[in-house]
Amino acid sequence: TQSTRPQRLLGAVQKNATRGQPHSVLKAIDQFCTHTEWAMNVGDEKGCILDSVVSEVNPATVLELGTYCGYSTVRIASLLPPHAKLITLEFNPDFAAIARQVIAWAGLEDKVQLVEGASGDWIPKMKEQFGITTFDFVFLDHWKDRYLPDTKLMEECGLLRKGTVLLADNVICPGTPDYLEYIRNSPRYKSQYFKSHLEYTKVEDGLEKSVFQG
């Protein structure tokens, strides 16, 4: 029987990480992806930038676009204050099933609501389905051509407030040129680039932090 990369990544977590210790889960995944198989997690180098932005914002409501195996979900959720809520969207059911187990292994299932489906379908339903007023922090890390339309959709749906922080991964590699052009030139955002490297490589990549001005 053939296994998939996400299944092998989960196996590395179950073998090497301690239940209830998010740091050990992240370490097991980073070890696996550095030494065994590359995978599209934000990784440790950009993950440290993600950590510092999450800590600075100290959000009570978080939206993550693109869960994959739950690496960044664990990273963000482990930094959230008590009673904070992270909603993460994933449209691939096989990835979602793995992510649920990774998040549970880290002991973070009470802070995380993993929602299966496409961002374009769920963003308009956030208020009524999940009782969200606005998000304090949004991590964009799904398919790169969706960053711009989903940002405009979040604006239209009233999910952003003055001070909401958007953090977008992979703005250089694979790259999100239409999103960068919009977010850097719109008077509705103050935007800043954090230079780094593509996960588990030396290729330039970075995160774009953009604060909604209302």
Beta-strand ranges (E) seen in the chain are: 61-65, 85-90, 112-116, 137-140, 165-168, 189-197, 204-212
170 as an active site residue: the answer is yes
> Residue 38 or 143: which CB sits closer to ligand SAM?
143
Q: How many residues bind ligand SAM (CB under 6 A)?
A: 18
Whole-number minimum distance, CB 154 to Mg ion, in Å? 18
CB 204 within 8 A of CB 172: yes
By beta carbon distance, the residue nearest ligand SAM is: 66
Sign of the torsion formed by the C-alpha atoms of 26, 68, 164 and 60: negative
Reported as type and span, the H/E element at residue 163 is: none
68 binds, among Mg ion, ligand SAM, none (CB under 5 to 8 A by kind): ligand SAM
Whole-number minimum distance, CB 82 to ligand SAM, in Å? 23
Mark 115-134 with x for binding to ligand SAM (rule: CB under 6 A) and - for no binding.
Answer: ---xx---------------
Rounded CA-CA distance 190/171 in Å is 16
Q: Which of 141, 176, 183, 205 binds ligand SAM (CB under 6 A)?
A: 141
> Residue 57 or 171: which CB sits closer to Mg ion?
171
**Does the protein bind ligand SAM through residue 80 (CB under 6 A)?**
no
Whole-number minimum distance, CB 63 to ligand SAM, in Å? 11
Torsion of CA 57, 58, 63, 64, to 10 degrees: 80
**What are the phi and psi torsion angles at 137 (to 5°)?**
-150, 135
199 as an active site residue: the answer is yes
CB 205 within 8 A of CB 196: yes
Whole-number minimum distance, CB 187 to ligand SAM, in Å? 27
46 as an active site residue: the answer is no
Secondary structure class of 175 (helix, strand, coil): helix
**Does the protein bind ligand SAM through residue 57 (CB under 6 A)?**
no
144 as an active site residue: the answer is yes
Q: Fill in the DSSP letter of residue 145.
A: G
92 as an active site residue: the answer is no
> Residue 130 or 143: which CB sits closer to Mg ion?
143
CB 167 within 8 A of CB 50: yes
Active site members: 141, 144, 169-170, 199
Interface with ligand SAM (CB under 6 A)? 40-42, 66, 68, 71-72, 89-92, 95, 118-119, 141-143, 146
